[in-house]
Amino acid sequence: MKSNRQYTDEHASAGVDAPLPEIETWPNQYPGYEIEIEMPEFTSVCPKTGLPDHGILTLTYVPLKRCLELKSLKMSTLAYRDLGI
């Protein structure tokens, strides 16, 4: 029997308008270096099945004027957990 399950535009846009916590920043006093942040506790739900997904999120960037504040970055990332995007 052929399954009619497909990933639709509705799945892809689910939760896009959800309010997310603001990511705070602080001034970068010493430009010219690379920052790597690893978040091994990244979780989300699949928009199609509703089942949990787990992963490691690695963010690497070279800050110019501002650096990301880690706690607010984590809170913003955790806000995606139940959006099903």
pTM value > 0.85: no
Residue carrying structure tokens 């809170």 = 75
Neighbouring residues of 66: CB distance < 8 A, sequence distance ≥ 6: 25, 26, 27, 28
Helix ranges, the chain (H)? 9-13, 70-78
pLDDT at residue 2 in the model: 56
- Which one from 9, 46, 67, 82 is the annotated catalytic residue? 46
Q: Does 17 participate in catalysis according to the annotation?
A: no
31-44 pLDDT, tens per residue?
Answer: 899 999 999 988 88
33-76 pLDDT, tens per residue?
Answer: 999 999 998 888 887 788 888 999 999 999 999 999 999 999 99
- Of 3.30.1130.10, 3.40.50.300, 2.30.30.40, 1.10.620.20, the CATH number of 34-85 is 3.30.1130.10
Q: Does 46 participate in catalysis according to the annotation?
A: yes
DSSP-based helix, strand, coil % in the chain, nearest 5: 15, 30, 50
Domain ranges, ordered by start, for the chain: 34-85
